[in-house]
């Protein structure tokens, strides 16, 4: 089921280093709060935070999708207050954008000083709602991707590279 690697481990590491350098420049003199979306973004955010040269804090949010996919709820909230913080929301993939739209709205209501979105993968062809993405690792075509934290029904998260999976989860 696993196809060719879309991005191998050195390519991912190189791109994460570039994103870290960009974030370090943009947040010079600040102390951003990284909020990773569980579980798929944990591998990415673990590498990203080590590529950032300014002091950071790290927290996580988990969301639940229910119903036909447009129902979204917080399953685990962040513990660190976001008010007046420079928040960087770190996700693995922006697909339809519905998940991030919900999380961005939820966090905006808590009055952060700023809120930027960083995603490892962006699949713009499938977007339903507009999401402003400030930092993006790679654009991907219309294939389901696994590895480097991304799963297909709970599998393949441990793979060090990003692979195209032959099918989409039902």
Which of 16, 34, 88, 150 binds ligand IMP (CB under 6 A)? It is 150
Burial track 49-70 (b if 16+ CB lie within 10 A, e otherwise): bebbebebebbbbebeeeeeee
> Under a CB-based contact definition with an 8 Å cutoff, are residues 169 and 163 in contact?
no
> In this chain, which stretch among 28-36, 40-48, 70-78, 100-108 interacts with Mg ion, using CB under 5 A?
40-48
Number of residues that bind Mg ion (CB under 5 A): 2
Tell me whether residue 95 is one of the annotated catalytic residues: yes
By CB under 6 A, residue 145 contacts ligand IMP:
yes
- Least distance in Å: CB of 22 to Mg ion? 22
Peptide bond into 39 cis (omega under 30): yes
Helix axes 42-50, 9-26, angle to 10 degrees: 60
Using CB positions, name the residue nearest to Mg ion.
40
- For the annotated catalytic residues, the residue numbers are 95
Q: Which residues contribute to the site for Mg ion (CB under 5 A)?
A: 37, 40
């Amino acid at each position: 089921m696993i196809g060719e690697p879309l991005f191998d481990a050195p390519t991912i590491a190189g791109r994460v280093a570039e994103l870290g350098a960009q974030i370090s420049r943009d947040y010079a003199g600040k102390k951003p709060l990284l909020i990773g979306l569980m579980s798929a973004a944990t591998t990415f955010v673990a590498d990203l935070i080590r590529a950032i040269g300014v002091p950071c804090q790290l927290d996580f949010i988990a969301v639940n999708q229910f119903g036909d996919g447009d129902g979204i709820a917080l399953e685990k909230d962040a513990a660190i207050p976001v008010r007046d913080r420079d928040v960087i929301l770190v996700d693995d993939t922006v697909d339809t954008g519905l998940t991030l739209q919900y999380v961005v709205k939820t966090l905006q209501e808590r009055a952060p000083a700023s809120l930027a979105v960083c995603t490892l993968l962006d699949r713009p062809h499938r977007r339903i709602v507009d999401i402003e993405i400030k930092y993006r690792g790679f654009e991907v075509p219309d294939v389901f991707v696994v590895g480097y934290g991304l799963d297909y029904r709970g599998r393949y998260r441990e793979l060090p590279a990003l692979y195209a999976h032959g099918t989409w989860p039902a």
